[in-house]
Amino acid sequence: MTFDFINWPIYGLDRETKRNLLGRELSSLMNHHRTHCMQYLKILDARAWRLDKYNCFEEYPWLPVRLFKMYELLSVNKNEVFKTLTSSGTTGQSPSRIFLDKNTASLQTSALVRIMQEFLGKSRLPMLIIDHPGVIKDRTKFSARGAGILGLSNFGRGHVYALNDDMSLNLEAIELFSKKYEGIPKLIFGFTFMVWQYFLLELEANKKFIDLNNSILFHSGGWKKLEAMSVDNNEFKERLRAVCGDLRIHNFYGMVEQVGSVFVECEYGYLHAPSFADLIVRDPLSWRPLPMGHSGVIQVLSAVPYSYPGHSLLTEDLGTIFGEDDCACGRLGRYFHVHGRMAKAEIRGCSDTQPTPV
């Protein structure tokens, strides 16, 4: 495998070109995982999937994302594992375990850099992290939160954590950050529910306004609790701007099982697939692909996962594809919304399971 997909224009491939190029990469990955991961081979054989029959993305075999909670799935020798990522898990549920060799870890970092530079540019910005520093102490074994923070921190400098280890708001650190970098572009990152619960609500309760004008906020995960409180994306943005000023706010959709292949929200509120990843929406009863404009279960495709068979995954999330190559923002590729979890699906999310501090 050449891994030349890292150099493709991130949002610049039209439908036909992308399907040809990405299809080639995915076919190569399927063959690699079939050869090097015995469990993956057994699953393909049990479902009578044959590598010579795939004519389009919609026919590619997929794995339910929950399998990574049940089995150790890897396509490299264990002594090549460089880092293990774990998802958040609810009480009594095992987390997903994702095994990375150095090659895959490097690919994930490069993929994330290419995507984020489209929104941030190439200069590192002063960075405020809506979390506490303890979450990244063990750099060989990360939770989804830790992996997200470490990945995004590469785009920042002068990193400041907005929370103390007990999850209380560090107002002094935030105010110093605001004053030090007043008037220049800044980067803010946090998981959605963490931003809401421990940052926004605390600022509102303290009647504090922190001047973070000219900042870009990236956030992801944890929407389930906000939806339960009837807080939608628009309210989230409006209330944040009321306590922090004129922020550019971008939600993004991603998962620990496919770190690197994130889908970032554009200026018009749609999530976008980068050139080396894509998605399909399937009917939850027949598993057939649904046409655009119809809600179903999201399947995600990515050229990045090499050390484990995570290139084609059926998630437990519902979404709708609204178009391809014709978003008003000018970015090519499929664009979509995520509506939440499937009914009765296991609750999982990067910040839904944040424990109450003791």
The rounded mean pLDDT for the chain is: 88
pTM metric for this prediction: 0.88
For residue 356, name the pLDDT band (cuts at 50, 70, 90). Answer: very low
**pLDDT score of 92:** 53
**pLDDT score of 49:** 80
User: How far is the C-alpha of 313 from the C-alpha of 209, rounded, in Å?
Assistant: 42
In the beta sheet, which residues pair with residue 303?
none
For residue 18, name the pLDDT band (cuts at 50, 70, 90). Answer: very high
User: How far is the C-alpha of 328 from the C-alpha of 339, rounded, in Å?
Assistant: 21
**pLDDT score of 237:** 93
Using CB atoms within 10 A of its CB, is residue 205 exposed (0-12), middle (13-18) or buried (19+)?
exposed
108-130 confidence digits (pLDDT tens): 989 999 999 999 999 999 999 99
User: How far is the C-alpha of 327 from the C-alpha of 236, rounded, in Å?
Assistant: 23
**pLDDT score of 88:** 63
In the beta sheet, which residues pair with residue 169?
163
Tell me the two tokens of residue 332. 């090519």
Cα–Cα separations (whole angstroms), residue 254 to 84, 136, 146, 164, 184? 17, 19, 14, 26, 29
**pLDDT score of 337:** 95
Tell me the two tokens of residue 300. 């995600």
* Cα atoms in the 13 Å half-sphere on the side-chain side of 183: 0
Tell me the two tokens of residue 212. 């973070």
Which domains, ranges and CATH numbers included, belong to the chain?
Answer: 4-80+269-341 (2.30.38.10), 123-253 (3.40.50)
